[in-house]
Chain A
Amino acid sequence: MINITTPLNKGTYKQPNIYGYYGNYGGAYIPEMLHRNVEELRTRYLEIMYDDAFQKEYKDLLRDYVGRPTPLYLAKRLSKLHNTNIYLKREDLNHTGAHKINNTVGQILLALKLGKKRIIAETGAGQHGVATATVCALKGIECVVYMGSKDIERQAPNVARMKMLGAKVVPATSGSQTLKDATNEAIRGWINDPLDTHYIIGSVVGPHPYPDMVARFQSIISEETRWQLKEKTGSELPTHVMACVGGGSNAAGMFYHYLDELSVQLVAVEAAGHGVNSGMSAATTQLGKPGILHGSKSLVMQTADGQVVEPHSISAGLDYPGVGPLHAHLYESGRGTFLSATDDESLKAAFELAQLEGIIPALESAHALAALHQMKFKTSDQVVICLSGRGDKDLATYMKVMEGNVM
């Protein structure tokens, strides 16, 4: 059992204080209409999550249904290219093709424990929507997924998957019609139907306790990495762990069990879009200022007047103007190294991995791979990259690249 009553401190990287703060970021900036639901979650999530029976059911599903542990794979040809040792944590091999399901399996079990009868979710690339629709089908629960109408167009295969799984996909037509607006609609949907509905947020964003809860469900990534790396190298500790950051859930999972290991460099890679200063970017820590979005205080891309701006990334899963409060804290405190990769660099990295290792990555994950070129490694370094998802959903984009002979 872990310590449930955190003191009123500034929180640690691994655990925010009881009001949900990691340093200066976090909290629960929610309208009163959501108070009851969020308070119920806040007071119960740890007690439910760390109940032995819950843990057993969660771990059993991860093994038998999701297919965990995912392999930790030494990518030899990629390592040779960078003259170091690069391991891929193969979240792309999870059922439904990304890390997102680690969280949805956990949250659906939690929703059932809370007696909820209906699930809502937001989705960007559609991976979280598919992962949510999947666990709802598994448990026979009604599922509604909010998705920006622009994303519905560019992620058609995932929309079809959600529908086949029995979920209702509701287009978010407000604002930029992407992930930010889908999240607004999901929150409004929750306000409208608060009693029987649980909102499964797909990243380490939202009001406390979501960032902490999602980080804990995703922490299975680094939990496995530690023993897998030990088997392979004799040490649980790599020199670097790297992950792409949209809201930051695969990065939070990849970093989690290394947060307090100061010898391990934590490298977060954001989407630079056309370039950080191009006006078409989603590199939140570079471009954002402290603000409040979707219920927590964090770094937010916004105008001088405090209007949230529409970000740009070729990858729908990274096309978000905010970042989880844990990451804002990692950035501000200097514990994390924040890099960014452009659309073009990421496309190039996707083809590089495909042709060096026979693995087609998701465009999101390709951002983490692209950042390898910005790093200076020693030959003795042990680098673990979270390969957060597979590229099937991005084939249309990859096909355009091949037709245009861009590569």
Chain B
Amino acid sequence: MNRLEELFTRKQSRILNVYCTAGYPQLDSTVKVMKTLQENGADLIELGMPYSDPLADGPVIQASGSKALENGMSIEVLFQQLKDFRKEIYVPVILMGYMNPVLQFGFEKFCQYCADAPIDGLILPDLPEYEYETEYGEIIQRYGLDFIFLVTPETSEERIRKLDSLSRGFLYAVSSSSITGSDQDFSAVETYLERLQKMKLKNPILVGFGIKDKHTFDMACSYANGAIIGSAYIKAIEDANDVETATKTFLDTILI
């Protein structure tokens, strides 16, 4: 049983997945930030690999990525930082990033390094299901990594079922057809989440995009197994002198 499976077997509700950017705020803060998240209630960590052209990210995460790149972060550096990280981090960790840097690193080499770290799963939003099925899915599975697909309010029922069947670990329900960090009307989101809930999908569902406080987290959790917080967390540590305290303060407001 891998860490993701273990988590979802043990816990089916109010799963808190927090996004952080590798190499942010400092180049070598990656593991420290993950540790603080783990200590303060994160069940799962989505670790972003910064990219110069992150199409599916909003301004806050974009800025954290630019900073991380300035700090000198790269996939090569990240895997060096992850060498012994399992001595400290026991929660599941999934890597989120874009295809281009991964292709340059070498797709299979990347999967191998993930398996060695070990990393539990991958989110590559610009790897479409056609390419996954014809080329990359086989490699990802060969290295025992879970691959998480996204669905949105615009995704048809038929396609949701297909993406659910391909997904392993969980299914990422994008809360609106909108970029991370943007504000939105949550009532339309509820209708959509209710629809997903009724579909009785194979995978657990985590809701992401626009989850920013206790209210939105609770709302998402009333329809799904949990939620993903990204921009709001990055914002909370953006100007913090002490990331540990800022993380604790932020997660406390969500989890009280």
Interface size class of B (residues with CB under 8 A): 35 or more
Q: With an 8 A cutoff between CB atoms, is B101 at the interface?
A: yes
- On whether A308 and B55 interact (CB within 8 A), knowing A192-B178, A192-B179, A292-B126, the answer reads no
Interface 9-mer from A67-75, A152-160, A180-188: A180-188
* A29 near B178: Cβ-Cβ < 8 Å: no
* A175 near B53: Cβ-Cβ < 8 Å: yes
A188: chain B residues within 8 A (beta carbon): 55-56, 58, 179
Q: With an 8 A cutoff between CB atoms, is A140 at the interface?
A: no
Contact of A290 among B62, B98, B103, B179 (CB under 8 A): B103
B131: chain A residues within 8 A (beta carbon): 27, 29
Interface 9-mer from B5-13, B69-77, B190-198: B69-77
> Can you list, as one digit per residue, whether each of B126-168 has a CB less than 8 Å from chain A (1) or not (0)?
1110110000000000000000011110111001000100000
Interface 9-mer from A89-97, A229-237, A299-307, A361-369: A299-307
* A191 near B178: Cβ-Cβ < 8 Å: yes
Q: With an 8 A cutoff between CB atoms, is B52 at the interface?
A: yes
Interface 9-mer from A30-38, A250-258, A331-339: A30-38
Give the shortest distance, in Å, between B124 (CB) and chain A (any CB): 9
- On whether A29 and B126 interact (CB within 8 A), knowing A191-B177, A308-B53, the answer reads yes
A293 to B100 Cα, complex, angstroms = 7
B29: chain A residues within 8 A (beta carbon): none
* A305 near B155: Cβ-Cβ < 8 Å: no
A195: chain B residues within 8 A (beta carbon): 154, 177
A192 to B153 Cα, complex, angstroms = 12
**Residues 34 to 72 of chain B near chain A (Cβ within 8 Å):** 51-53, 55-56, 58-59, 62, 66, 69
Give the shortest distance, in Å, between A338 (CB) and chain B (any CB): 22
Q: With an 8 A cutoff between CB atoms, is B104 at the interface?
A: yes
Total CB contacts across the A-B interface at under 8 A: 111
Q: With an 8 A cutoff between CB atoms, is B105 at the interface?
A: yes
> Can you list, as one digit per residue, whether each of B10-45 has a CB less than 8 Å from chain A (1) or not (0)?
000000000000000000000000000000000000
Contact of B51 among A30, A289, A307 (CB under 8 A): A307
Give the shortest distance, in Å, between A293 (CB) and chain B (any CB): 7
A290 to B151 Cα, complex, angstroms = 28
* B101 near A307: Cβ-Cβ < 8 Å: yes
A175 to B65 Cα, complex, angstroms = 11
B174: chain A residues within 8 A (beta carbon): 32-33
Q: With an 8 A cutoff between CB atoms, is A355 at the interface?
A: no
Contact of B177 among A194, A290, A295, A300 (CB under 8 A): A194
Q: With an 8 A cutoff between CB atoms, is A266 at the interface?
A: no
* B128 near A30: Cβ-Cβ < 8 Å: yes
A31: chain B residues within 8 A (beta carbon): 55-56, 125-126, 150
Q: With an 8 A cutoff between CB atoms, is B117 at the interface?
A: no
- On whether A29 and B128 interact (CB within 8 A), knowing A293-B100, A307-B69, the answer reads yes
Q: With an 8 A cutoff between CB atoms, is B99 at the interface?
A: yes
* B104 near A29: Cβ-Cβ < 8 Å: no
* A180 near B53: Cβ-Cβ < 8 Å: yes
Contact of B100 among A27, A174, A194, A291 (CB under 8 A): A291
* B53 near A293: Cβ-Cβ < 8 Å: yes
- On whether A306 and B103 interact (CB within 8 A), knowing A31-B150, A191-B56, A192-B178, the answer reads yes
Number of interface residues of A (CB under 8 A): 34
Contact of A175 among B52, B98, B128, B159 (CB under 8 A): B52
* B99 near A32: Cβ-Cβ < 8 Å: no
Residue of A33, A293, A300 ringed by the most chain B CB atoms within 10 A: A33
A114 to B100 Cα, complex, angstroms = 32
A36 to B127 Cα, complex, angstroms = 15
A377: chain B residues within 8 A (beta carbon): none
Q: With an 8 A cutoff between CB atoms, is B189 at the interface?
A: no
**Residues 59 to 117 of chain A near chain B (Cβ within 8 Å):** none
* B55 near A304: Cβ-Cβ < 8 Å: no
Q: With an 8 A cutoff between CB atoms, is B112 at the interface?
A: no
Q: With an 8 A cutoff between CB atoms, is B219 at the interface?
A: no
Give the shortest distance, in Å, between A178 (CB) and chain B (any CB): 12
- On whether A184 and B55 interact (CB within 8 A), knowing A32-B125, A191-B179, the answer reads yes
* A307 near B126: Cβ-Cβ < 8 Å: no
* B126 near A30: Cβ-Cβ < 8 Å: yes
* A192 near B53: Cβ-Cβ < 8 Å: no
* A292 near B75: Cβ-Cβ < 8 Å: no
* A305 near B76: Cβ-Cβ < 8 Å: yes
A294 to B100 Cα, complex, angstroms = 10
B149: chain A residues within 8 A (beta carbon): 32
* A300 near B100: Cβ-Cβ < 8 Å: yes
* A308 near B56: Cβ-Cβ < 8 Å: no
B75: chain A residues within 8 A (beta carbon): 305-306
B53: chain A residues within 8 A (beta carbon): 175, 180, 184, 293-294, 308
Give the shortest distance, in Å, between A212 (CB) and chain B (any CB): 16
A289: chain B residues within 8 A (beta carbon): 104
* B126 near A308: Cβ-Cβ < 8 Å: no
Q: With an 8 A cutoff between CB atoms, is A19 at the interface?
A: yes
Query: In the complex, what residue of chain A is closest to B97 when comparing beta carbons?
Result: A306
Give the shortest distance, in Å, between A337 (CB) and chain B (any CB): 27
* B128 near A308: Cβ-Cβ < 8 Å: no
A192 to B181 Cα, complex, angstroms = 11
Give the shortest distance, in Å, between A306 (CB) and chain B (any CB): 3
Chain A residues with a Cβ under 8 A of chain B = 19, 27-33, 35-36, 174-175, 180, 184, 187-188, 191-192, 194-195, 289-295, 300, 302, 304-308
Chain B residues with a Cβ under 8 A of chain A = 51-53, 55-56, 58-59, 62, 66, 69, 74-76, 98-105, 125-128, 130-131, 149-152, 154-156, 159, 163, 174, 177-179, 182
Q: What are the 10 tightest A-B residue pairs by CB atom distance, in nearest-first order?
A: A306-B104, A306-B101, A305-B74, A31-B125, A32-B150, A307-B52, A31-B56, A36-B154, A29-B126, A308-B52
Given contacts A291-B104, A294-B53, A295-B126, list 14 more A-B pairs with CB under 8 A: A27-B130, A30-B126, A31-B126, A32-B163, A33-B177, A35-B155, A35-B159, A36-B155, A174-B59, A187-B55, A191-B55, A289-B104, A305-B76, A306-B101
